[in-house]
A and B are shown apart, each in its own frame.
Chain A
């Protein structure tokens, strides 16, 4: 499998590996994929009161492209509003990493992880408002 230098760089030096406190009301968690399918991504975002993503962490069980896709989106997410985050498309991830066609699903999974984390933080905010 010939990977691009960008994939190899993220794979060798993944950015923002780790976890945030999932009980923090300002932290949203998205976990997508399944072990039997060969990849599981966990993405956590910390959002401040202005709705800006202050921090993002990930852990990924998956191939080099899956690791690179999730590492890349943690870089992209920081400083974005949750609506901007929600608008990130898998095609942008695939293009940035020059993913081969058989690895496009890794970028889809990363997009799904963002959407799941945003949905989680929105649900938490809604719960806060109604509480």
Chain B
């Protein structure tokens, strides 16, 4: 990446002694380590988008004048760029509003179209809610579903996947890269099993673009969901890949002017589409270099945090994108942990706005205890993360974990050699 691009925030994170400064006050922005939630729009992407908000405002569906032609050309260029990143034909790319819509269109669209063939769906308990909930909706409409638990490392056991297949299985949906723990499923192997059994295979690749190589010419995948805002493009735009050979049919979920070959009606958001195209072009050109830089940062973070006792990495470390590190810190409570690390913007496995404790369902599916699931933090690293950010984060985590453990009766008991699983707790 070019050195002239800088994250437009994050200054003065260290005091004059080089110590990490707390970011409780509003004047200091926390360091952004939540790239799996969303990424900032790359300034190069934003620059490409702006003319399509103002002077090139035409409707790409207007065939009778240059305003429309200009917009249409931009849309088709972007479609080519999206297709190029994932090894698809541009005619296989359908614009949507984002990965949630793509998942809904793929899952409900394919299940509805092929429901005569069977009404059983297979998916995974660690999928994003944008896959789980459409499948639940189909169950309400009379389909049945199997939700497979992954192994403790987050990956699917292929034999268990095979065993879940029934004669009436019509569709399977497995995410490429998990949003919480970053593990990469073996899409080729799962896709081959689906092919052998005549099952339509959908893959949610929202977290995968620009992070892993995707070649749909070779991958045995029928439908694949994408979005722009996890790959330095704007929010509100996504795409669904719909295979042409062998041809996969889906029932439209949005009816209107018959845009996108009738699969998704609605006037195309030219500026958003241009942004997604540019973002995916940059991803294609820069991902190899960028990923090796990010891997170094992630490994530095991991090694820095691993010097502490009782920390557990969630999810397989080998089959994993370099951008993600999800770690549980034992004997500290989740919400106090989040309060302690306000100097960094991260996600936690704990729902701290609620009175009831709802630990991450993904970590629970890996077999983690409620306590460890609660005290987990997802660090996700990206294009604008610097080595200084990682140094700051390591120092911050060490000092805050030390402080919270100093406060923790559980830590004290652990240090005294008491087996906490044998303690009779006075429940309240």
**Is B408 touching A33 in the complex (CB atoms < 8 A)?**
no
Tell me which residues from 12 to 48 in chain B have a Cβ below 8 Å from any Cβ of chain A. Answer: none
Does chain A have a CB within 8 A of B354? Answer: yes
Chain A, interface SS category: mixed
The distance from the CB of B54 to the nearest CB of chain A, in whole angstroms, is 40
**Which of B331, B339, B407 counts the most chain A CB atoms within 10 A?**
B407
In the bound complex, residues from chain A placing their C-beta under 8 Å from that of B352 are 1, 63
- Is the C-beta of A89 less than 8 angstroms from some C-beta in chain B? no
Given A33-B426, A38-B334, A14 contacting B407 (CB threshold 8 A): yes
Provided the pairs A34-B428, A108-B428 are in contact, do residues A41 and B409 lie with their beta carbons within 8 angstroms? yes
In the assembled complex, the CB of B104 is this many whole angstroms from the nearest CB of chain A, namely 32
Which of A1, A14, A37, A61 is the most central at the interface, judged by chain B CB atoms within 10 Å of its CB?
A61
Closest to A70 in B: B407
Q: Which of A11, A34, A102 contacts B425 (CB 8 A)?
A: A34
Q: Looking at the complex, which one of A31, A32, A38 makes contact with B333 (CB distance below 8 Å)?
A: A38
A17 to B333, CA, bound (A): 16
A37's partner among B336, B357, B369 (CB-CB below 8 A) is B357
A1-B353, A60-B408 known; A37+B339 contact, CB < 8 A: no
A19-B412 CB under 8 A given contacts A1-B353, A61-B333, A63-B335: yes
**For residue A33, which residues in chain B have a CB less than 8 angstroms away from its CB?**
425-428
The verdict on A120 contacting chain B, using a C-beta distance below 8 Å, is: no
Whether B412 pairs with A59 at a CB distance below 8 angstroms is: yes
Tell me whether B331 and A109 are in contact (CB under 8 A). Answer: no
| Chain A interfacial residues counted at CB < 8 A | 32
Pick the residue among B354, B370, B425 that contacts A40 (CB under 8 A).
B425
Task: Decide yes or no whether B406 CB sits under 8 A from chain A.
Answer: yes
Shortest distance from the beta carbon of B355 to any chain A beta carbon, whole Å:
4
Q: Is A46 an interface residue (CB 8 A)?
A: no
- State whether B409 touches A39 (Cβ < 8 A): no
Choose one: B332, B336, B355, B428; the contact of A11 (CB below 8 Å). Answer: B336
Q: What residues of chain B lie closer than 8 Å to A19, measured between beta carbons?
A: 412
| Pair B427/A40 contact, Cβ less than 8 Å | no
Nearest CB to that of A64 among chain B residues? Answer: B339
A82 within 8 A of B: no
Inter-subunit contact A67/B407 (CB<8 Å): yes
In the assembled complex, the CB of A100 is this many whole angstroms from the nearest CB of chain B, namely 9
Whether B427 lies near A35 (C-beta < 8 A) is no
Q: Who on chain B is nearest to A104 by CB?
A: B355
Chain B residues contacting A63 (CB-CB under 8 Å) are 333, 335-336, 339, 352
Min distance, Cβ A74 to any Cβ of chain B, angstroms? 12
Q: Does A80 contact B (CB under 8 A)?
A: no
Closest chain A CB from B183 CB (angstroms): 26
| Inter-chain CB contacts under 8 Å: number | 84
Query: Is B290 in the interface zone, CB < 8 Å from A?
Result: no
Q: Is B50 an interface residue (CB 8 A)?
A: no
Closest-by-CB residue of B relative to A33 is B428
In the complex, the answer to whether B410 meets A35 with C-beta atoms within 8 Å is yes
Judging by beta carbons under 8 Å apart, are A35 and B420 in contact? yes
Residues in A with CB closer than 8 Å to B370 are 36
- B331 proximity list for chain A (CB < 8 A): 61
Chain B's closest residue to A40 (CB) is B409
- CB neighbours (8 Å) of B411 from chain A are 61
* B371 in contact (CB, < 8 A): yes
Across-interface contacts of A17 in B (CB, < 8 A): 406-407
A59 touches B427 (CB 8 A): no
B323 within 8 A of A: no
Please give me the residue from chain B that is nearest to A59 by CB atom: B409
Q: Which of B242-265 contact A (CB under 8 A)?
A: none
In the bound complex, do residue A35 and residue B425 qualify as a contact, i.e. CB atoms below 8 Å apart?
Answer: yes
* B368, chain A: closest CB distance, angstroms: 13
CB distance from A36 to the nearest CB of B (A): 6
For residue B374, CB closer than 8 A to chain A, the reply is: yes
Q: Nearest chain-B residue to A100 (Cβ)? A: B355
Beyond A1-B352, A35-B420, whether A61 also contacts B428 by CB under 8 A is no
Most central of B354, B408, B411, B427 by chain A CB within 10 Å = B408
Q: Is the CB of A34 within 8 A of B374?
A: no
Q: Is the CB of B408 within 8 A of A109?
A: no
Contact A37/B427 with A60-B407, A60-B408, A61-B409 known, Cβ cut-off 8 Å = yes
Q: Which of A31, A35, A37, A59 has the most CB atoms of chain B within a 10 A radius of its CB?
A: A35
**Chain B residues whose CB sits within 8 angstroms of the CB of A1 once the complex forms:** 335, 352-353
* Cβ contact within 8 Å between A38 and B407: no
Contacts of A109 in B (CB 8 A): 428
Q: Looking at the complex, which one of B335, B354, B371, B407 makes contact with A35 (CB distance below 8 Å)?
A: B371
Instruction: Report the bound CA distance from A42 to B370 in whole Å.
Output: 21
The 8 A-B pairs with the shortest beta carbon distances in the complex, nearest first, are: A34-B425, A102-B355, A63-B335, A42-B409, A59-B409, A61-B408, A61-B410, A64-B339
Query: Which A residues have a C-beta under 8 Å from some C-beta of B?
Result: 1, 11, 14, 17, 19, 31-42, 59-64, 66-67, 102-103, 105, 108-109, 112, 116
**Between-chain CB contacts (< 8 Å), 15 pairs:** A11-B339, A31-B409, A32-B426, A34-B426, A36-B370, A36-B425, A39-B333, A60-B407, A61-B407, A61-B409, A61-B410, A66-B333, A103-B355, A108-B428, A112-B426
